Every structure is written in C-alpha cells, then in structure tokens.
Amino acid sequence: MSRPIQVMKFGGTSVGDAKRIRNAATIAAEASKQRSVVVVVSAMSGVTNTLISAAGKAATGNEAAAEALAKALQTKHRETIEALISDGEQRRELLDEIDVLIDRAANYCRGCALLGELSPRALDVIAGSGERICARIAAAVLRQMGYRGVAFDATDLIVTDEVHGGARPLAGPTREKTRAALLPLIEGGGIPVVTGYIAATAKGVPTTLGRGGSDFSATILGAALDAEDVIIWTDVNGVQTADPRMVPEAVTLDEVSYAEAGELAFFGAKVLHPMTLRPVVDSGIPVWIRNSFEPHKAGTKITQTARPTPHGVKAVTATRDVAMIAVAGPGIIGVPDIAARIFAASASVRANIVMISQSSSQDNICFVVQAADAVRTEKALRDALHEDVRHHDLEHVKVNRNVAIVAAVGEKMCGTPGIAGRVFSTMGNEGVNIIAIAQGSSEYNISFLVESSGMEKAVKALHRAFGLGQVESGEKASTAAQVTSKTA
Ligand code: ASP
Ligand code: MG
C-alpha cells in the first residue's frame, strides 16, 4: 500500500528569506515522516513583482532594466543560497543553475527592450522565473537535510490552454504527465518540489495561472495525484470572520465550505487565488489554510460540508478595489438588447465583473468591476453605446471609483429569512448609505455597495450585529502585520 499524498504549498512570504525557506523545508520534512509529501513553492516574496516591473520597463525601450533585474535577482538568491547550503560543491552547482535562469530572464528583457514591446507570452516566461529558482533552492535544502528533494518545473506537469497571464488547466493531460513524472519519486520516498504559478500549453509553450496562482497549482497537483489533502502555508492563520486590520475582534474560522471560501476568496485578505478550489470540488479533497509562521495552529479547513454557524452569516468581507459603472437614461427602458450590449462591451476588454444590479424600473443598469479594469471598460462602453448617447436614448455612462463592496457570506444564509433585514437595518442604524444591492440566488452572499468612506464602519457593524467575534472556537486573530497576505 502506498502512503497517502499530501500536497503543501508555500507562498512568497513563507519562502521569503533563508530562514523562511529552512522553516518550510522543516515543515515538509516533518510531514514526510507520516505521508508522501509534494511541495509547491511560490517565488521568494517580491521576486515576481521585480520580474514583471523589469519586463514592463524593458518594453518601453529601457535597456538598463535587464541589467538591473539580473543584479537584483542575483543578489537576493545568492545571499539566500550562501546562508542555506554549506557544502561547497552543492552550492556551486546550485549557483550555476540559478545563473542560467537569471540570464534567461534578463535575455528576454533585452529582447523586449530591442523590440520595444512585451507580448503576454514573453511576460509569462519572465514572470515565472522566480518559482524556477525557488524550487531549486528548496529542493537543495531538503537534500542537505538528508531527504531526497528533487525540483520540478510545472511546465513539464501542468498542461493549460493558451491564455497567457491567466491560463486554465486541462485536467486529463495534466493528470497523465504529473503522475508519470512524480509518482516514481514519491513511491521511492522522495519529495518533489514543484514550481507554483507556471505551466505550459500542450505544445510546451510556458504559461502562468495568473497572479497568486501557486495556490491553484497546489490544488491542480492535488487533484492529479488523488491527494489526501492540500495545505496552503501562508502568513495568516486561515480564513477569518473579517479582515483583522479593520476588525480587531475578528477570529479564525475552523471550517468553511468550498462555496463559502469561494465567496470570500476575492475579497479583503485575499487568502486564496479565486480558482483554487475548482480542481478539488468534485473529489472533495480538503484544503487547509495554515500559517507557516505559527505552524502549531490548526488553521482553517475548507471542505464540501463545513459546519455552519448559528447565525447563518460566517464572515463579513469588503474591498475598495472596485469601481461602479452606471448606464442610465429613459432610452434603455424595455430595450431588450441593452444589457447584452453592455456586457458584450465589458467582456470584449475582459473586465472582471464583480456585481450587477438593475432595478425593475429598468432605467439604470449598474455593475461593479475591479478597479484595474475600470478605464478600459468605460472606454469600451462609450464606444459601443456611442450612437445611443448621440440620440439621447442614453443619458450617461458614469464611473464612480469612490465606492466599496461589502458582503455578508455564509452557506447557512440560504433559506434563512431575516438576514437581509438585519444586514440593512444595521446599516440604517449606523447611518451608512447603500448605493446598490445584489444577492445571487445561491443566497451565500449578500453584497452591497457603499461609499468608500463608509466601508470600515459597515464591516465593523455587521461583524458585531451577527456576533462573529464569539461564534468560533478558533483563537483570536492577532496583529495587523500578520494579515498582509503578500504574493511574491
Ligand atoms: N509568485 C506568483 C505571484 O506573485 C505566484 C504566487 O505567489 O502565487 O503572483
Ligand atoms: Mg497568494
């Protein structure tokens, strides 16, 4: 009988320096005494940002960007390797290997500077270099500790479509490649250390899974390997009832369901890449969020059927990172294709729509996009609706960036009357004005839009109104510093 497999992913801050990498390797090594362990690593924190910003500078013709990048990466990783690897021979080998990877990233940047452009395909190659370096370092540390750590590039394991910058996995081919490459090592007692974030198309062209994508890598691999569970080691204690930077009384939830975690993934603390749970939902593989800085804590378990809380609402979440777009005017009343045209326009620029609301008077359709998508969505809409505005069928397309979404989330809210009433009377009592409201028919989430300045007050009041600080047995979430969930 082969041992159950545990996939564990370490995020950027959990491999942020030599000490953190040693800590991560120790956690993996300890776990490997009970189970077969597969490690997935992000780039060291800050590295992906450095790579992406160097690529952007290079694309404007800045030739010095490549040199500066090579230097920055060399300094950071050399220092780390020197602190970690004591054997001279091993160290030299590792340094040579990472020099090749750094050279390659810098060469791509030089190419961009020459061409004066940066294709999404080139950006994926450059952006994914940090994971390749980090996996090699972590594997070497495991070997130094006496384990058979072997680095793998996920470009050889995870097969995706061709959408650069946000590729989606193809389960069949991924399963085949992953099992063929990893199972022999796993069964022989070794520990694969796999790059997060990166993958490749069926033709072998490198892709990435989107920023923060290493979480997604971990569950993709977990599903492919029929893992017993997946652990996301990060720098927060798990999923919390609210962002503790806003609500000091927030506590860590012991358990949340896939659906609840999905609703929460987008907001606030950004604990998970939004796609993370997709690969494991069918097989029901549990995903744990745990804090690598406090590994003795249990963290949050995400499963199919998490225990509900008595009040229905499990967490309150919010974000200011959005903009509201309203299309209004008497001419849109009863026009059957107006909504189709609005959303075709926003889809044409790949805007991520987070919330939609239209009242039954129909003279105003309002939707919310991520702040980063606002400018191009507005332009696409103005182009698409140009004629309607000219004929005064449409009064305006308005963008308001001064808003925040607040959401109450919980699976047990479904079919429980009175929750919406409580949510909105709480806002009334606090004097927080509500601009728009949406509840999906899943009823897992009541979302509403407020002015940015009212967001914190709204979250605090809801957290209090639903008694969220006391319902869970989980320990109190502590300082603000620990919730800053940085991607690498
Ligand atoms: N290093 C990548 C990023 O910063 C992927 C990850 O950390 O999950 O987006
Ligand atoms: Mg992350």
- Enumerate residues 6+ apart whose C-beta is below 8 A from 420: 439, 446
pLDDT in tens, 163-198: 999 999 999 999 999 999 999 999 999 999 999 999
Report the amino acid identity of residue 181: A
Atom of ligand 1 nearest to the CA of 131: 1
Residues 151 and 17 in one domain: yes
- Does 12 sit in the ligand 1 pocket, CB within 6 Å? yes
pLDDT in tens, 125-144: 999 999 999 999 999 999 99
Percent pLDDT > 90 in the chain is: 72
Which ligand sits nearest to residue 15's alpha carbon?
1
Atom of ligand 1 nearest to the CA of 210: 9
Cα of 43 from ligand 1 centre, angstroms: 6
- Does 487 sit in the ligand 1 pocket, CB within 6 Å? yes
Residue 274 lies in a domain: no
Cα of 432 from ligand 1 centre, angstroms: 36
pLDDT band at 477 (very low <50, low <70, confident <90, very high): very low
Cα of 259 from ligand 1 centre, angstroms: 23
Cα of 15 from ligand 1 centre, angstroms: 12
Q: Would you call 339 helix, strand, or coil by DSSP?
A: helix
pLDDT band at 257 (very low <50, low <70, confident <90, very high): very high
Domain final residue, candidates 200, 235, 270: 235
| DSSP of 408-474 | EE-GGGTT-TTHHHHHHHHHHHHTPPEEEEEE-TT-SEEEEEEEGGGHHHHHHHHHHHTTHHHH--S
pLDDT in tens, 413-439: 767 778 888 999 999 999 999 998 887
- pLDDT greater at residue 319 or residue 267: 319
Task: Output the pLDDT for position 264.
Answer: 80
Q: What mean pLDDT is predicted for residues 49-57?
A: 97
Residues 211 and 322 in one domain: no
Residues 361 and 217 in one domain: no
- Indicate which residue's Cα is closest to atom 5 of ligand 1: 212
Rounded distance, CA 396 to CA 390, Å? 10
Work out the mean pLDDT of the chain and round it to a whole number.
90
Cα of 209 from ligand 1 centre, angstroms: 9
Instruction: Report the CATH number that the domain containing residue 71 is assigned in CATH.
Output: 3.40.1160.10
> Structural domain of residue 324, as residue ranges?
317-465
Task: Output the pLDDT for position 438.
Answer: 85
pLDDT band at 280 (very low <50, low <70, confident <90, very high): very high
Report the amino acid identity of residue 305: T
Task: Output the pLDDT for position 487.
Answer: 41
- Does 128 sit in the ligand 1 pocket, CB within 6 Å? no
Residue from 158, 211, 289, 484 whose mutation best tests the ligand 1 pocket (most atoms within 8 A of CB): 211
Residues with CB under 5 A from ligand 2 (ion): 11, 212, 487
Cα of 10 from ligand 2 centre, angstroms: 9
Residues 328 and 219 in one domain: no
Residues 61 and 175 in one domain: yes
Which ligand sits nearest to residue 45's alpha carbon?
1
Which ligand sits nearest to residue 209's alpha carbon?
1
Percent pLDDT > 70 in the chain is: 91
Q: Cα torsion at 116, 211, 407, 318 (round to 10°)?
A: -70
Atom of ligand 1 nearest to the CA of 487: 4
Task: Output the pLDDT for position 442.
Answer: 63
Task: Output the pLDDT for position 476.
Answer: 40
Q: Would you call 156 helix, strand, or coil by DSSP?
A: helix
Residues 220 and 350 in one domain: no
Domain final residue, candidates 218, 235, 252: 235
- Indicate which residue's Cα is closest to atom 4 of ligand 1: 488
Atom of ligand 1 nearest to the CA of 213: 8
Beta bridge partners, 256, equal: 302
Domain final residue, candidates 182, 210, 235: 235
Q: Domain total for the chain?
A: 2
Which ligand sits nearest to residue 213's alpha carbon?
1
- Does 195 sit in the ligand 1 pocket, CB within 6 Å? no
Which candidate, 169, 132, 411, places its Cα nearest to that of 278?
169
pLDDT band at 350 (very low <50, low <70, confident <90, very high): confident
Task: Output the pLDDT for position 334.
Answer: 67
Task: Output the pLDDT for position 221.
Answer: 98
Which ligand sits nearest to residue 127's alpha carbon?
1
Q: What mean pLDDT is predicted for residues 209-215?
A: 95
Q: What mean pLDDT is predicted for residues 406-416?
A: 82
Residues 191 and 49 in one domain: yes
Q: What mean pLDDT is predicted for residues 278-289?
A: 95
The whole model's pTM is what?
A: 0.86
Residues 204 and 338 in one domain: no
pLDDT in tens, 73-125: 999 999 999 999 999 999 999 999 999 999 999 999 999 999 999 999 999 99
pLDDT band at 361 (very low <50, low <70, confident <90, very high): low
Residue 270 lies in a domain: no
Residue 250 lies in a domain: no
pLDDT band at 483 (very low <50, low <70, confident <90, very high): very low
Q: Cα torsion at 71, 14, 304, 274 (round to 10°)?
A: -30
pLDDT band at 394 (very low <50, low <70, confident <90, very high): confident
Cα of 200 from ligand 2 centre, angstroms: 20
Residue pair 52/18 in contact by the 8 Å Cβ criterion: no
- Enumerate residues 6+ apart whose C-beta is below 8 A from 314: 241, 253, 256, 260, 308, 409, 410, 411, 412, 468
pLDDT band at 470 (very low <50, low <70, confident <90, very high): low
Atom of ligand 1 nearest to the CA of 211: 9
Rounded distance, CA 326 to CA 24, Å? 47
With 0-12 / 13-18 / 19 or more C-beta atoms within 10 angstroms meaning exposed / middle / buried, residue 293 is middle
232 has pLDDT over 90: yes
Residue 23 lies in a domain: yes
Q: Which of 11-15, 146-150, 160-164, 407-411 has the lowest mean pLDDT?
A: 407-411
- Does 329 sit in the ligand 1 pocket, CB within 6 Å? no
Residue 37 lies in a domain: yes
Residues 88 and 187 in one domain: yes
Q: What mean pLDDT is predicted for residues 358-377?
A: 85
Atom of ligand 1 nearest to the CA of 49: 4
Cα of 272 from ligand 1 centre, angstroms: 11
Instruction: Report the CATH number that the domain containing residue 321 is assigned in CATH.
Output: 3.30.2130.10
Residue 487 lies in a domain: no
Rounded distance, CA 232 to CA 292, Å? 9
